Structure 1
Amino acid sequence: MLPFFMPTPRVADTSIDPPARLRHSPETRLAMLTYTPPHEQDLPPATEKPWLLLLLCLVWLLPGLLGREPLKPDETLVADIVRNLLDGGKWALPTVAGEAWLERGPLFYWVAAGCAWLGDTVGLPLHEGARLATGLFMALALWGTGLSARELIGRRHGRSAVLILIGSAGLLLPGHSLNGDVAVLAAWCWGIYALALAPRRPMQAAPLLGATMAVCGLAGSLAEPLLLLALALALTLFPAWRFRRYSLVLLIALSIALPLITAWPLALQQASDSAFGIWWDNYSLGFFGGFALLQALHPFGFYLQLLPWFAWPGWFLAAATVWMQGDRLMQPRFQLPLLAGGLALLCLVLSNSGRAGYALLLLPPLALIGAVGLDVLRRGVASFLNWFGVMTFGLLAIFLWIAWLAIQFGVPQRFSDRILSLAPSFTPHFGLGTALLITILTVAWVWAVSRRRTVGRQAVTNWAAGTTLCWGLAVAVAGNWVDARTSYRDFATAIAPQLPRQGCVASENLQPSQRAVLHYYLGLTTQRRELVTEPGCDWLLRQAGSEALSAPGGWREVWQGARPGDRNERYYLYRREATE
């Protein structure tokens, strides 16, 4: 007996066996490879309501998109890029504080700029309007994953894959912040769906595959569409994708993708030949660097250390499914996600990048594999996963409620003092709406975990509901506190009166995200001393750690300060001393 899955009885139904004269025809062989036996098609009566899944996705998506300042590093960079685009900058040349920023393609910035422009019509700050683009791409990613699961596995499995995906710990922060990784994730999800659809509807799959390859290239680098193309080519190893019109699918997809992907580099070269050279040499291949210097195997092991928590519980469900259904891995529903996840993991492990955003590519394949075995997961394992999720998120919710009481009412006193000391500029404000919201979220979670379902589906539903509850509580309870502790708005407000109204300001040891903050909030573009030894400016802004800095020779300190509660970053503003 399989320890993780209930044994599956054999069905003595010979009617599914094709006649001998048809048994060896190509059409019959393909049908047998993609055929799902009746006992695997028959699912327990549905208790989930589609509108509940939609509501859960909305409650997961919306918190954190509005009502907060941009965080470093990604959000401050993207916010400044969007401001520059809306202020008349070149759309082919994303810039941060006046310098080209080419680590990712510009598609996400274009969509974010459009959302910011629309948000401005209803009074949203630029960064909040731009963040709506993140919600748009995340909604597309969830939709694409659900369609892929329904196409590969069958009815009602789409919601299972979506629940596994939104329960993934690593998706929370990228899925609610300004970053181009979510656009690549959405395209990757729809690319997998296009390949799943190709054996059944090749002519519908072809343009969809081409469009997703184009989005990967325009939002990421050349590496992502090449990865999707490699996946499409590798699928020809399996009979389900070795049909006559599959080559036509690839040709149509490439004819759509190639002109769109090459359009931006050509426009970039027209806008700035030097910027194009930087992109081509250093960033064109994404996690492998650029064509001038292919980089790999450093930092080796980063993603292997990241995935145990980043991809939980998807990797656990996927591993259990693969282990216990090893004799069925040659079915198309396993072949596509296994190959997609394997190719993505191979690229990341061999790459030069240590960026967590790239690991988002692994989450949809894991969700698809885990969804296959969800309905046959043995009761003991499903109960453990369910119990672990309820206990984990229940205790975390209790902690967040205590934090809310400490922030609003000073109870318990020591905890309250500690919280407020970490963000000195934070002033608590009791809001009846916030109190009502966190109460509704908590009651809804208690109702959700008390509903009876199939044990496997109950485990992932309760995990997704717990993730949504704690994320919503964290944003509602501590959102303003986090803003006060991490936002650069207070720093920009404090230094603004000290800056000159005219003349240039040099900077030293400022990271791109810090220079982006100055440009985004104050419109200040500093001259980097790292590039020009003596820019000729009469003002100098330096950044240091916790250690104190003394004024350089020939300079006089005018101001020093930091973000409230931040002991790791301190800023010093100097003015050149007058010479006789």
Structure 2
Amino acid sequence: MNKPTPAIVAQGAVRRLPRTALLLLCIAYVLPGFLGREPWKSADMTAFGYMAELARGATAWLSPRLVGLPPDVDALLPYWLGAWAMQIAPAWIAPDFAARIPFGILLTLALLATWYGTYYLARNPEAQPVAFAFGGEALPPDYARAMADGGLLAFIACLGLAQLSHETTPALAQLCFTGLFFYALAALPYRKLAPAIGGVLGLTGLALSGAPAIATLLGTGGALIHLLDRSPEPDNKKYQFLWAAGIALLTLFVALLASLLDLWRWRIELPEASWPEWRSLGRLLLWFTWPAWPLALWTLWRWRYQLVRGGVPSRHLVLPLWFAGVAVGATLTTGSADRSLLLALPAMAALAAFALPTLGRSVAALIDWFTLIFFSGCALIIWVIWIAMQTGVPQQPAANVARLAPGFEPSFSLLPFLTAVAATLAWAWLVKWRVGRHRAAIWKSLVLPAGGAVLCWLLLMTVWLPLLDFARSYAPLVRRTMIVMQQQPSCVEAHGLSRSQIAAFQFHGHLLMKQAGSQARCPWLIVDKDAAKTLPAAADRTQWTMHSSMRHPSDRNEDLLIYKRTAQKGS
């Protein structure tokens, strides 16, 4: 006997979230982080370094190199996008900002894909609410739209999304293309052209962004889910096998393309069988996907009888569960756990949306109060520390900033300040609206989590941006090093520097970097302190004299040694 769906939703509960408010929320989330900042260490700066090398024609497009070093992530498309943007952009646009433009578009596409993916999953007949005896239940299009609003709010509210989704790295490209393929599979029973385009772009882009294994797993599982799906349209049943075969062929094509471009790499790193390692992974899973993961688990519990009905998996549950499972599996078996977990967020947000029609008032109230206290507290801390930086009062926060970022000089900018004030006032209005009396809407429980996440991210990217740039960029370190060199050298040799450090010296210092031991005969040599012991094997120490040491002002673990050539030949 099939149990009825747990969703009991009246038509009055699916009123749409005002489009203007939703659009402003997305704009307030997307733009900060792409505007007005320096490239951050280390993945952000590293990726930009490869883009800059491609843009100026210093490396091959199919095999990008940075001073002879291959990228950590064997991706191509993200570096191409940034390089093309830098080449197309007019001269008055800063190269680092030009490189961020396509990535802002990728984040926007990820938001759209999450909304439409959740929408079409909610259109599934098995996802519909219980039909009332005398009518009045939510209409399918209105119900799906309200669920999609909730899915998008859950996506934005995820704490781990903020920073990684605003960096110019392959991780953001992977997120976007995962979202596109997720949308394609969700919408395939209802649309054909747009899902076909989204599927091709999503799976191919995912492979070209350094995740061919994940693309192959998602494609294989997606083909099987579509093949076993109970089609909502009778006319689609005869084409169901053909579409599943098409997804399988696309997956095979993507795997062959990755092989042709040599993008396959063995990256499996099983976690150590130790409590600290598993505790670290557990903490990452808990905070990174908050608040989507508890709602997703609640969905699986409340909809457990609909997970498989009559031996057929329910698309609206199995599809996001497969996407989230693949990403979590990659998180547990790869070195870059947070960037792998990022790919689970669209699917987890969709699963979280299906918890909304089943939440009781007490649970919804608990979410609201916890969110209100948490994000209001975070916003208060941000403002207090900013006031302390500007005025010196309170003394303890000001002293902490001076200790953690020695040499930082606070500055005041009117536009960021006004933006931050407007965001804070908007948060106060949102809290007032939420605690006031208003018509019920199933997405209401995720308004405060999404609004609070946007508020704190926007505050960090406005009033705190100078401090974050000072602490998270290499610009202060490069400026100090250039003062030591006194004049622009013809080139600089490097030993033991990370890819991000090399890229930073090339971008901020406009230096031509060479590997130590090359025939360049550069007048200066920069060595990472931890790699100083291996320097004699790479360069002739008799030709170099220790000149000075340099430390990043906010990172005690980042020490550089500056050597000067004993017998210079040009400078």
Alpha-carbon shift at residue 45 of structure 1 (Å): 5.1
Distance 1:152 1:442, change over 3 A: same
Distance 1:564 1:296, change over 3 A: closer
Matched, 1:559 2:548: yes
- Asked whether the equivalents of residues 77 and 516 of structure 1 are also in contact (C-alpha less than 8 Å), the reply is yes
Equivalent residue, structure 1, for 2:264:
284
Distance 1:429 1:165, change over 3 A: same
Please, which runs of 5 or more residues in structure 1 have no aligned partner?
Answer: 1-31, 269-279, 290-294
For 2:369 and 2:531, locate their aligned partners in 1 and report how far apart those are by CA, in whole Å.
Answer: 44
Matched, 1:374 2:363: no
Alpha-carbon shift at residue 181 of structure 1 (Å): 1.1
Among candidates 457, 462, 483, match of residue 469 of structure 2 = 483
Distance 1:124 1:453, change over 3 A: farther
Equivalent residue, structure 1, for 2:529:
544
**What pairs with 1:3-14 in structure 2 (closer than 5 Å)?**
none
Equivalent residue, structure 2, for 1:277:
none
Matched, 1:319 2:297: yes
Which moved further from structure 2: 135-144 or 44-53? 44-53
For 2:196 and 2:243, locate their aligned partners in 1 and report how far apart those are by CA, in whole Å.
Answer: 5
For 1:570 and 1:535, locate their aligned partners in 2 and report how far apart those are by CA, in whole Å.
Answer: 24
Equivalent residue, structure 2, for 1:165:
155
Distance 1:161 1:574, change over 3 A: same
For 2:194 and 2:492, locate their aligned partners in 1 and report how far apart those are by CA, in whole Å.
Answer: 56
Q: TM-score, normalised by structure 2?
A: 0.82
Matched, 1:92 2:49: no
- Asked whether the equivalents of residues 202 and 246 of structure 1 are also in contact (C-alpha less than 8 Å), the reply is no
Which moved further from structure 2: 436-445 or 513-522? 513-522
Distance 1:249 1:549, change over 3 A: closer
Among candidates 487, 491, 495, match of residue 481 of structure 2 = 495
**What pairs with 1:22-421 in structure 2 (closer than 5 Å)?**
39-40=8-9, 42=11, 44=13, 46=15, 48-89=17-58, 90-101=60-71, 103-120=73-90, 123-153=92-122, 154-202=144-192, 204-236=194-226, 238-240=228-230, 243-253=237-247, 266=260, 280=262, 284-285=264-265, 288-289=266-267, 295-299=268-272, 301=278, 303-330=281-308, 331-349=314-332, 351-421=333-403
- Asked whether the equivalents of residues 38 and 469 of structure 2 are also in contact (C-alpha less than 8 Å), the reply is yes
Alpha-carbon shift at residue 527 of structure 1 (Å): 4.2
Alpha-carbon shift at residue 511 of structure 1 (Å): 1.6
Task: Describe the SS at the equivalent of 2:463.
Answer: helix
For 2:259 and 2:301, locate their aligned partners in 1 and report how far apart those are by CA, in whole Å.
Answer: 44
Task: Describe the SS at the equivalent of 1:172.
Answer: helix
Distance 1:413 1:342, change over 3 A: closer
2:303 maps to a residue whose letter is: Q
Distance 1:486 1:150, change over 3 A: closer
Alpha-carbon shift at residue 522 of structure 1 (Å): 3.1
Task: Describe the SS at the equivalent of 1:507.
Answer: strand
Distance 1:504 1:352, change over 3 A: same
Deviations 1:122-171 (CA, angstroms, capped at 9, x unpaired): x3321122122222111101100100111111232111100000100110
Please, which runs of 5 or more residues in structure 2 have no aligned partner?
Answer: 123-143, 309-313
Q: TM-score, normalised by structure 1?
A: 0.81
The size of the alignment, in residue pairs, is 522
For 2:495 and 2:535, locate their aligned partners in 1 and report how far apart those are by CA, in whole Å.
Answer: 14
Task: Describe the SS at the equivalent of 1:97.
Answer: coil
Which moved further from structure 2: 354-363 or 249-258? 249-258
For 1:332 and 1:151, locate their aligned partners in 2 and report how far apart those are by CA, in whole Å.
Answer: 10
Distance 1:475 1:546, change over 3 A: farther
Equivalent residue, structure 2, for 1:519:
506
Which moved further from structure 2: 395-404 or 452-461? 452-461
Deviations 1:356-412 (CA, angstroms, capped at 9, x unpaired): 111112111111111012033111111101100000011111111111211222221
1:234 maps to a residue whose letter is: L
For 2:293 and 2:38, locate their aligned partners in 1 and report how far apart those are by CA, in whole Å.
Answer: 33
Could you say which structure has the greater relative contact order, defined with CA pairs below 8 angstroms and 6 or more residues apart? 2
- Asked whether the equivalents of residues 541 and 573 of structure 1 are also in contact (C-alpha less than 8 Å), the reply is yes
Task: Describe the SS at the equivalent of 1:567.
Answer: coil
1:135 maps to a residue whose letter is: G
Cα-Cα RMSD: 3.3
Equivalent residue, structure 2, for 1:426:
408
Deviations 1:306-349 (CA, angstroms, capped at 9, x unpaired): 11110000001111121123222233211211222223323443
